[in-house]
Amino acid sequence: MASSTLDTIRQKVRRITRSPSTAQLSNVDLDQYINTFIENDMPTSVKLFSLRTVLTFYTQPGVDVYATNSIPNDPLNNFKNKYTAIHPPIYIAGVAAFFTQDRDIFYGNWPQTNAVQQTGLFGNGGTGPFAGILPPPNNLPGVSIINPHILQRSVMFSALDVAGTSMIVVDTPTSNVLGNLTTPNSVVVLGTINYVTGAYSFSFPNSTALTSVISPNPIWSEAIYYVAGLPTTVLYYDNQFTLRPVPDKAYIVQVEANIRPTELLQTTDVPQISQWSQWISWGAAIKIFQDRMDMDSVQLSMPEFERQQAMVLSTSMEQYTNQRTVTIYTDNGLWSACNNWGRWPYIILIIQTLNILMM
């Protein structure tokens, strides 16, 4: 059986580049060339069907943004480097959600409307602490949001200091419920905010201007309120997912993604597909020639490199040809991720709403 291990790829590259000795090219440097081609060149030069996978992560109540992190064993751990692209469809709790990469479309349907209010507190010549509870806003006169929650990363307090400059304190989430209050781009904690109850307590970095009848100095608050529920819309932008409505509990989220190939570290490691070994060998060899400024060898290597790449790509092309390109005339309309309003559970909600209106 043909071998496709890292050791075999090394041997092939040494033969192509005429570098049989480790004195000419160490294994450390050689592995660097091989893995650079695998991790950086392969996923961007061609889109292979075998590198398409399903990314699964889980929501948390009150958390609307899911970005790459460094938490061990978390599905989003080092997400921005593990995956090269995200594709619809996306499913939340098994129900297809609307997927967009356009902030204008997303926030056009889910506006970021800040509730600007006076806290009822005023500058007193000191830094604080100032404490209270953010009152829920009124959508209509006499109508308040039922059980409002405060959106993370939307809270701001402001007041004038003794020099007449506005001081700003913003929130940084520390859990599903609590957040620290700091000045923008600072790590110095000045207080805390509870996103569920609205309770806050903080100090300003400088002394506040003393309030008088002639020059009042109210402490202002800004925040975005929401009612939690099952998310139906997802924005993918800046390597992070933003969900609306904000989740009220844990839900499973599944979306298609292009995964980055696995690097080869041990001599017995093999590529995810054994066929790639020849393509990887020629790709790594070309990188070595480029660093040596041996452009003649680069040109001589290109025909075989492209032939190996075409054979690798042919497998994906054959797989893709099994499925017809989706159009408005194909029979997937009912199950399209963009046609949620014609399927469960949304059709049930529409029917229930109509029944209520007709009562």
Q: Higher-confidence residue: 46 or 120?
A: 120
* Residue showing tokens 């781009």: 185
Q: What is the CATH number of the domain that holds 205?
A: 2.60.40
Q: Which domain holds residue 79?
A: 6-103+254-292
Residue 223: beta bridge partners?
A: 115
**Taking 90 as the threshold, does the pLDDT of residue 220 lie above it?**
yes
Examine the domain organization and report whether 126 and 93 are in the same domain: no
The pLDDT-based confidence of 355 (bands split at 50, 70, 90) is low
Residue 342: its pLDDT value, please? 42
Q: Higher-confidence residue: 64 or 356?
A: 64
* Residue 63 included in any domain: yes
Cβ atoms within 10 Å of 46's Cβ, excluding its own: 15
Dig out the tokens for 219 from the structure: 């402490």
* Residue 297 included in any domain: no
Nearest of 84, 81, 76 to residue 57 by alpha carbon: 76
Interacting residues of 288 by C-beta distance below 8 A, sequence separation 6+: 13, 17, 19, 25, 33
The answer to whether residues 17 and 289 touch, using CB atoms and an 8 Å cutoff, is yes
Instruction: Give dist(CA 143, CA 50) in Å, integer.
Output: 54
Examine the domain organization and report whether 39 and 63 are in the same domain: yes
The total number of residues shown for the chain amounts to 359
Examine the domain organization and report whether 206 and 262 are in the same domain: no
The pLDDT-based confidence of 317 (bands split at 50, 70, 90) is confident
* Residue 246 included in any domain: no
Examine the domain organization and report whether 134 and 216 are in the same domain: yes
Dig out the tokens for 88 from the structure: 């619809």
Examine the domain organization and report whether 146 and 196 are in the same domain: yes
Examine the domain organization and report whether 216 and 153 are in the same domain: yes
- Between 27-36 and 276-291, two packed helices, what is the crossing angle to 10 degrees? 110
